[in-house]
Every structure is written in C-alpha cells, then in structure tokens.
C-alpha cells in the first residue's frame, strides 16, 4: 500500500468529492471503492453557506482528507487557500494546484515551485499537481515535496495516460519518490496501466462522479487498481519486437 509522508494508506485509489449526483452516491462510491483518501476543495466546501452539511458527509466517509487548492492561478492565492484549508480541515496535508492555463488546466511550473517552497517551510506536507516534466519534478523535491502527482491528461478529459514515454521516464528518474497519477483518467483499464507502470496510486474524480452509476464505477476502479498492483508484483514480461512461439519447436513432425 502507498506511504505518503510516513503514513500508510489503505488503498492505492484516491477519489475526489465533487460533481456526484447526490450525497448518497458519494458515500456509496467511497464505500464500494475502499478509497483511502478523499480530496476536498475549500471552495467546494464553502460554496453551500457554512458548508457544515458537506463537511459532515466527508467526516462520515472515515477516510483521510486531502484538501486542495483547486482554482488557484497564482502562488499567493494557493498559499492563502492552503492556510485556510489547514484551519478548516485540521490537517497539514495539502494537494497543491497552481493553474497556468484556463483551457488545459495545466499547472504553472513557476508558481507551483514558489508555492511549494513557501508551504513546505510553513510545515505543510505538499502533494503537488504537476506534469511529467523531470526538471520540474526535481525543483519540487528541492522545494520540500516528498510526493509528486503528475497528470495523466488534462483534468476531466478522460483521455488516460497521454504521454506514456514521459511518465515512464519520470518514474524511472525518481524511483524512490511516491507518485500518484492525478487527473485525466477515464477508464479503470487506464488506472490499472498506471499502477502496472510503477505509480503508487491514482487520483480521479470525474470518471466516477459523472458515470451513469458512480458507485459501480468506483468499485470497477478499485478492482482495476488491485489488478494493476498484482500484475506489477508478478514481474510482467517486457514487450518484444519479434514474435516468439509459445509452443516448443522440438518434436514437430518432419516431412520428407
């Protein structure tokens, strides 16, 4: 099971808490998935008046809460949001998002590193939403991050793992750093692929919350993540360029 900042998490599946058709669907999705972490947005929590009803639902899930700075477009805004989230949710864990492009929701690398350094110095355990860029990853680690959360694809697109080469390279470049594929997953098979590649966990929201049956889709992702974990542990074969027969050549009939 994944370990983040010295804390072991019960599942390699992490779920967001936005966009569900109903609170009942949200609760049932978490129950059937066994997800170990719930990400919550301070903006989402505060959107409905005092937010107490939503926060009560989250508490009853019985999972670790990871607040995020979703919707922040500058380091200053992200830092302020993180500080407010620490007070509201009583945790020093924060999923750091500093968005650089409104259409793709791609992280702003400069603001991300700046905010990560400030928050790490302030005692936060930072989970940065980043890209597969290895140089950016190194800067985030230097800033104090001990976990990386590279995107699979832009948030909410469901396109899966857009840059397989880049993600494999990032995983190989920092083999001992816990990594979570965050955003862009649309199918359970894509989650299994991420775990097979050596990533420690996956985080998703839209693929479950906007499915026709969110609890069933959450369970499907949970099974896929477990399949990926078992496959990774079983040491899968490497791809080959040439065919190799599975049936031995010895003993074949010889025709005159």
pTM of the model: 0.89
DSSP string for 89-138: HT-SEEEE--B--TTT--B-HHHHHHHHHHHHHTT-EEEEEE-S-HHHHH
pLDDT exceeds cutoff 90 at 242: no
Q: What local confidence, expressed as pLDDT, does residue 51 receive?
A: 55
Which residue segments constitute the domains of the chain, with CATH numbers given? 3-234 (3.20.20.70)
pLDDT exceeds cutoff 60 at 45: no
Binding-site residue numbers are: 156, 183-184, 205-206
| Residues 48-64 pLDDT 10s | 455 567 778 888 888 99
Active site residues: 95
Binding-site residue numbers for 1-deoxy-D-xylulose 5-phosphate are: 156, 183-184, 205-206
What burial letters (b/e) apply to 60-75, b meaning 16+ CB within 10 Å?
ebebbbbbbbbebeeb
Cα–Cα distance, 73 to 67 (Å, whole number): 17
Q: What local confidence, expressed as pLDDT, does residue 216 receive?
A: 98
Among all chains, which residue has been given the structure tokens 């906007």? 210
> CB of 48 within 8 A of CB of 241?
no
Beta bridge partners of 107: 99
| Residues 62-88 pLDDT 10s | 899 999 999 999 999 999 999 999 998
């Amino acid at each position: 099971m994944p370990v983040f900042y010295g804390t072991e998490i019960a599942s390699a599946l992490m779920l967001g808490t936005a966009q569900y058709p109903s609170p009942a669907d949200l609760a049932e999705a978490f129950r059937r998935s066994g997800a170990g972490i719930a990400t919550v947005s301070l903006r989402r929590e505060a959107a409905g008046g005092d937010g107490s009803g939503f926060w009560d639902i989250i508490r009853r899930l019985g999972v670790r809460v990871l607040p995020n700075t979703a919707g922040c477009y500058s380091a200053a805004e992200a830092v302020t949001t993180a500080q407010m989230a620490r007070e509201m949710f009583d945790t020093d864990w924060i999923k750091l998002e500093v968005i650089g492009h409104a259409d793709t929701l791609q992280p702003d690398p400069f603001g991300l590193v700046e905010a990560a350094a400030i928050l790490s110095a302030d005692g936060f355990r930072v989970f940065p939403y980043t890209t597969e860029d290895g140089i950016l990853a190194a800067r985030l680690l230097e800033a104090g991050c001990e976990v990386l959360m590279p995107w699979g694809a832009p948030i909410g697109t469901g396109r899966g793992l857009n840059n397989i080469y880049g993600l494999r390279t990032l995983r190989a470049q920092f083999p001992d750093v816990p990594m979570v594929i965050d955003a862009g997953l649309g199918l359970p098979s894509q989650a299994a692929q991420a775990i097979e590649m050596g990533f420690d966990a996956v985080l998703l929201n839209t693929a479950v919350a906007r499915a026709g049956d969110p609890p069933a889709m959450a369970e499907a992702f949970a099974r896929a993540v477990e399949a990926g974990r078992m496959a990774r542990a079983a040491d899968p074969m490497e791809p080959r360029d040439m065919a190799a027969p599975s049936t031995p050549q010895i003993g074949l009939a010889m025709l005159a």
